[in-house]
Amino acid sequence: MNFNVETQKLNDMARQAADVIEDHEYVRVISHNDADGLTSAAIICQALLRKGIRFHTTIVPRLDSSVVDTVNASAGEKDLVVFCDMGSGQSDILSGLKNSIVILDHHVPVGDSPAKVVVNPHLAGIDGAMHISASGTTYLVAKALDPANVDLAGLAIAGAVGDKQLMDTVNGTILKEATDVGVVSVRKGLRIGDGNIADVLEYTPEPYLDITGDRQKIDDFLGILGLQGNISELSDEHMRKLASAVALKLAKKSTSEAVDASIGDVYYLNKEIVKNVYDMVAILNTCGRMEKAGMALSIGMRDKTHLEEARKMAIGYQRSIVGNIKVASDMLRTGQNIGYLITKDMESTGMVASTMVRYINPDMPFVAVNQVEEIVKVSARGTRALVTKGLDLAFALREASKAVGGEGGGHNIASGASIPPGTEEQFISKIDEIVGQQLGK
pLDDT value at residue 2: 67
pLDDT value at residue 374: 87
CA distance 235 to 203: 23
β-pairing verdict for 184-190 and 117-119 = unpaired
- Please give the C-alpha separations between residue 166 and each of 36, 131, 384, 390, in angstroms, as whole numbers: 14, 6, 10, 19
Q: Does the pLDDT value for residue 388 go beyond 90?
A: yes
Q: What is the residue-averaged pLDDT of the chain?
A: 95
**pLDDT more than 70, % of the chain:** 100
Q: What are 166-177's pLDDT values in tens digits?
A: 999 999 999 999
CA distance 386 to 389: 5
Lowest mean pLDDT among 8-12, 222-226, 260-264: 260-264
Q: What are 13-42's pLDDT values in tens digits?
A: 999 999 999 999 999 999 999 999 999 999
CA distance 97 to 115: 10
Name the segment(s) of the chain with CATH classification 3.90.1640.30: 3-179
DSSP secondary structure string, 59-91?
Answer: EESS--HHHHHHHHHHS-TT-EEEEES-STT-H
Angle (CA) 136-183-51 rounded to 5° is 65
End-to-end CA gap in the chain: 30
Q: What number is the average pLDDT over the span 375-395?
A: 94
CA distance 182 to 211: 36
Q: Does the pLDDT value for residue 1 go beyond 60?
A: no
- Reported as a pLDDT band with limits 50, 70 and 90, residue 185 is very high
Q: Class of 3-179 per CATH?
A: alpha beta
pLDDT value at residue 187: 94
Half-sphere exposure of 128 (CA within 13 A, CB side): 27
Q: Does the pLDDT value for residue 411 go beyond 90?
A: no
Name which of 338, 352, 349 is nearest 377 in CA terms. Answer: 349
Name the segment(s) of the chain with CATH classification 3.10.310.40: 332-438
Q: What are 268-311's pLDDT values in tens digits?
A: 999 999 999 999 999 999 999 999 999 999 999 999 999 999 99
Name which of 241, 310, 324, 320 is nearest 279 in CA terms. Answer: 310
Q: Does the pLDDT value for residue 161 go beyond 70?
A: yes
pLDDT value at residue 337: 97
Pick 147 or 3 by higher pLDDT: 147
- Per-residue HEC secondary structure of 233-290 comes to HCCHHHHHHHHHHHHHHHHCCCCHHHHHHHEEEEEEECCCCCCEHHHHHHHHHHHHHC
Q: What number is the average pLDDT over the span 71-92?
A: 94
- Reported as a pLDDT band with limits 50, 70 and 90, residue 150 is very high
Name which of 57, 63, 95 is nearest 79 in CA terms. Answer: 57
Pick 441 or 331 by higher pLDDT: 331
SS3 177: helix
Name residue 171's amino acid.
Answer: N
pLDDT value at residue 257: 82
- Reported as a pLDDT band with limits 50, 70 and 90, residue 251 is confident
- Reported as a pLDDT band with limits 50, 70 and 90, residue 361 is confident
Q: Class of 332-438 per CATH?
A: alpha beta
Q: What are 197-220's pLDDT values in tens digits?
A: 999 999 999 999 999 999 999 999
Bridge partners for 408 per DSSP: 417
